[in-house]
Amino acid sequence: MGKWRVMNKGMVLHRMHELLEGHFGDLGWWPADTPFEMIIGAVLTQNTAWRNVETAIKNLKECGLMDIEKIEREEPSHLAAVIRSSGYHRVKSAKLQELSRYLIAECGGDLKKMEARDMKDLRCGLLGVKGVGPETADSILLYAFGKPVFVASAYAKRVFSRHRLIDEDSPYDLVQTFVHENFDGTTKRFNQLHAFLVETGKKFCKKKRALCGECPLGGLARGPKERNHHGHC
């Protein structure tokens, strides 16, 4: 009897975190100087490569716009031009302004105050802002406000489904619930796990190509049958 037969999903997730931490070490997420910059990055990186977001963030700083009040007041088309490299710039310009307006209304722009509030209330509030969906809301809760939530990214879903932990077409909330119910989550561990899964997805668990031999999760394959058809990355 192989060892995979005696590992439940909680053990698999725990082992996954352990293996990825051994491979990646401390990734230092979220890469931002301030909570507000993190929030800006969360919106700009929607369906967009991070390197293109970095350019946009650098532009914002150079224009002196990395400031909640200035973003909120800036002329929309000019803001769009500054963040052009991040793609969907007209839409994202409006999103940044909507979100800034909301945060100013909620806490006067002092984001530190948000950390003391109830997580579910914060999530509801964020989801009420146009342009903020579940993944962006959870990213902000975790990385800007320090709340213990799992960010159920497309990468997480891909890695989990290829390990046959969940169905590949599982909706966002189901993937998140799966982790919340099977992983000993603290803010620190959710922070790491999300970052590890994103990096794993980028390097080893790509959409079309799998690099099974090099993936740090190779040892988690759940049985002989799965080894040759995406049982792991």
Partner DNA sequence: CACCAGGCAAGTA
Partner DNA sequence: TACTTGCATGGT
Binding site for DNA (CB under 7 A): 29-31, 41-42, 45-52, 55, 84-85, 87-92, 129-137, 139, 143, 153-155, 172, 198, 201-202, 206-208
- Residue 60 Cβ vs DNA, minimum distance, rounded to whole Å: 14
- Residue 231 Cβ vs DNA, minimum distance, rounded to whole Å: 19
Single-letter residue type at 95: K
Instruction: Name which of 24 and 88 has its Cβ closer to DNA.
Output: 88
> To 5 degrees, how large is the angle CA 130–CA 168–CA 145?
40
Surface-to-core class of residue 26, CB atoms within 10 Å of its CB (0-12 exposed, 13-18 middle, 19+ buried) = exposed
> Cis omega (within 30 of 0) on the bond before 50?
no
Instruction: Name which of 9 and 54 has its Cβ closer to DNA.
Output: 54
- Is residue 205 within 8 Å of residue 159, measured between CB atoms? yes
Surface-to-core class of residue 41, CB atoms within 10 Å of its CB (0-12 exposed, 13-18 middle, 19+ buried) = buried
- Residue 84 Cβ vs DNA, minimum distance, rounded to whole Å: 5
Instruction: Name which of 4 and 102 has its Cβ closer to DNA.
Output: 102
Instruction: Name which of 15 and 177 has its Cβ closer to DNA.
Output: 177
Tokens of 86: 């991040």
DSSP 54-72: HHHHHHHHHTT--SHHHHH
Instruction: Name which of 61 and 84 has its Cβ closer to DNA.
Output: 84
- Residue 208 Cβ vs DNA, minimum distance, rounded to whole Å: 5
- Residue 54 Cβ vs DNA, minimum distance, rounded to whole Å: 9
